[in-house]
Amino acid sequence: MIKYQTLLYYCYSRIEDAEQFASDHLKFCKSLNLVGRIIVADEGLNGTVSGTVESCKIYMDAVHADPRFAKTDFKIDDVEEPSFIKMHCRYKAEIVHSGLRDPRIINPEEKTGIHLAPADFVKLKDEEDVVIVDVRSNYEHSIGRFKNAITFDIENFRDFPSMINELAQYKDKKIITYCTGGIKCEKASALLLHEGFENVYQLHGGIIKYGKEAGGEDFEGKCYVFDNRVAVDVNSVNPVVISTCRNCGTHTTKMINCANPECNEHFTQCDACGERLEGACSEECMAHPRKRVYDGTGYYVKVPQPVNTEKLKLSKV
């Protein structure tokens, strides 16, 4: 019997007094005993929340009952346990950090690439005049990506605009962007249109929806997700593993954070190397005096750091 679910969603819709909304929304989520991470901005919502099936239904019904978010598309995963430890709901400048904040240039509510349903993506993805573009960060596509997709060596989505020139050679092609759940593509496809690309599409609902509705065909590896699960299966048609252990080169889908908190690098590591290096990315990090205890997961709860009083004094001088 399914006991818990995890919901992935976003909605671009103007929120007046978004800071107060974030505070009120946090209280509402806590009243349902949900855990997760929600970003609230003037431009809308971006969240992943997890809880009991009953709580998740109440939450989705409440979001859909608000006219501003009635069009929200929830991607629902059945999970054995909640995918987060705590509940966070924070106000930020954007619901996905892109640096593209001028609504006169980029406004997903008004103009984006054509949304392709998973079934339509399947029909188009192998055509000769189609170029598939992954707009996610390097650590995300290192563990899984579409076959033949163009990827960029970027650490954050805010670096994507600087990569546009690399796509100039494909201006006469059909460009299809994709990401985890679709949110990054809203701005990425809008930016491409602004830069003069004419045939721009985006995979509606992202990799997650594609896996659920189209079996994930030709998505190689796993899909990185921003919760305790780290990565999830997508392809039930022709699955392969493409990621390798940083230390020995063995194929593995296990992604962890380095046990040295001053490094904290996100990387793939097999269980054997994890045991040998105690969850560190190198022998140097394994020997670090602040190395965290490795429990086999490579996932560490953030612990508040003590205030650096000396730095505060200097900043006031």
Looking at residue 304, its pLDDT comes to 43
Residues 289/273, Cβ–Cβ less than 8 Å: no
Looking at residue 106, its pLDDT comes to 86
Instruction: Say yes or no to pLDDT of 151 above 90.
Output: yes
Q: Tokens for 243, please give them.
A: 């990621």
Residue 267 per-residue DSSP state: E
Distances (CA, A) of 11 to 38, 42, 46, 265: 12, 11, 7, 30
Class of CATH domain 114-220: alpha beta
Rounded-to-integer distance, Cα 133 and Cα 196, Å: 16
pLDDT-derived band at 84, boundaries 50, 70, 90: very high
Instruction: Say yes or no to pLDDT of 183 above 70.
Output: yes
| pTM, full prediction | 0.89
Condensed to tens digits (0 to 9), the pLDDT of residues 47-76 reads: 999 999 999 999 999 999 999 999 999 999
Helix (H) or strand (E) holding 23: helix 18-31
CA angle 180, 182, 187 (to 5 degrees): 120
Provide CB contacts within 8 A for 63, sequence distance 6+: 9, 11, 45, 69, 72
Instruction: Say yes or no to pLDDT of 94 above 90.
Output: yes
Q: Which of 29, 179, 258, 285 is catalytic?
A: 179
| Annotated domain spans of the chain | 4-91, 114-220, 244-311
Looking at residue 309, its pLDDT comes to 42
Condensed to tens digits (0 to 9), the pLDDT of residues 213-247 reads: 999 999 999 999 999 899 999 999 999 999 999 99
Looking at residue 103, its pLDDT comes to 74
Q: What percent of the chain has pLDDT over 90?
A: 89
Condensed to tens digits (0 to 9), the pLDDT of residues 96-122 reads: 988 877 777 788 999 999 999 999 999
Instruction: Say yes or no to pLDDT of 307 above 70.
Output: no
Average pLDDT, the chain: 93
Tell me the CA end-to-end span of the chain in Å, nearest whole number. Answer: 61
Instruction: Say yes or no to pLDDT of 310 above 60.
Output: no
Looking at residue 1, its pLDDT comes to 81
CATH of domain 4-91: 3.30.70.100
Tell me, yes or no, if 179 is annotated catalytic. yes
Mean pLDDT of 158-172: 94
